[in-house]
Structure 1
Amino acid sequence: MGLVHLLRAVTVNFDLLGAEFAARNGLHPTDVRALIHLLDAARDGTPATPGWLGRQLRLNSAGTTALVDRLERLGLVRRERDGADRRRVLLEVEQKATELGWAFFGPVIDKVVATAEGFEADELETVRRFLTSVLHATQQMRSL
């Protein structure tokens, strides 16, 4: 249970950081989650459509449209036509969003990276395996 409590504490702290970032930048916490999903999709090579984003955030079509409109007005996201299927719209994170994120989260990311550098490769692999398993368990609970 000690690990569960530590994970909860880390989650709460990251959530508080996300809320502070949102407040400083005139965003809703859902906006921040949307940006995270879009950045993760870009990193993984996943095409991010409004429908895909809505499923990730569990928003209906109207809520997703309002979210994307808001992020687009703020210059954080843009809609692009899919080159392979012109009927499909893809969402792209603007450089401004990335810069805002790094300006705020960069110091904590640097500290986490520095902390990880103090561990051996096999220790980090164990942590990675553990966190991946926890992630999968929580994702399964979301689909219930």
Structure 2
Amino acid sequence: MTGDTEGHSDLDLTRLLQTLTVESDRYAERFGAEHGLHRTDVNALSLILDAARVGRALSPSTLAKELGLSPSATTALIDRLEALGHVERTRPAGDRRRVALEVPAAAVEANRHLFRPLAREFAESWAGFSAEERAVVARFLEVSTAAMKRVGGHDAPQRRR
């Protein structure tokens, strides 16, 4: 670890990031419990919604890879989300063999409603940040997430067993 930069050492930043991660985990657990979702369901829903925001539909196999789940566990997860109306399995017109996970319009609005309180609280907390400060925070979060993925093996090639 490197030294101090304006009073915040690498260790200080690591601890703050760990604290944020723990609180995020706690929030996701409570959120899931309140809405009848398993923790993995919440993570899956987040990934599917993120893909939908950029106009991309996630495939079940991509979802499985992102979550580190087996095909059968992924199928059970998708079945739960589909039964609750959060996702639909569709078949793209160009390749009827593929399955894509899409979020119905009604579910997008319902999920917006579910996540709105946290978004509102974040917005209020960040209101005093300048554009330059927000750019630094965004860069910090992006590189920290990339580091976490590297260390966690998320970006590493899958090993055969």
TM-score, length-scaled by structure 2: 0.82
User: How far apart are residue 97 of structure 1 and its match?
Assistant: 4.0
Q: Choose between structure 1 and 2 for higher RCO, CA contacts under 8 A separated by at least 6 residues.
A: 1
Q: Aligned pair count?
A: 144
Matched, 1:43 2:61: no
Counterpart among 49, 67, 73 of residue 77 in structure 2: 67
User: Residue 91 of structure 1: SS of its match in structure 2?
Assistant: strand
What CA deviation, in whole Å up to 9, does each residue of 1:4-57 have, x standing for no partner? 111111111111111111111111100000000101111233330000100000
1:59-114 residue CA offsets vs partner (Å, 9 max, x unmatched): 11111111111111111111011122111110012345434433343122112122
TM-score (normalised: structure 1): 0.91
Residue in 2 that maps onto 1:27? 37
Letter in 1 for 2:36: G
Name the CA distance, whole Å, in 2 between partners of 1:142 and 1:100. Answer: 32
Matched, 1:139 2:137: no
Greater per-residue helix proportion: 1
Contact between 1:35 and 1:93, CA under 8 Å: does it hold in 2?
no
Whether the 8 Å CA contact 2:57–2:102 is kept in 1: the answer is: no
- 1:59-138 equivalences in 2 (<5 Å): 59-138=69-148
Which has more radius of gyration?
2
Task: Give the Cα separation in 1 of the matches to 2:110 and 2:34.
Answer: 10
Residue 98 of structure 2 aligns to which amino acid in structure 1? R
Percent identity for Structure 1 against Structure 2: 42
Give unmatched runs, 5+ long, in structure 2.
1-10, 157-161
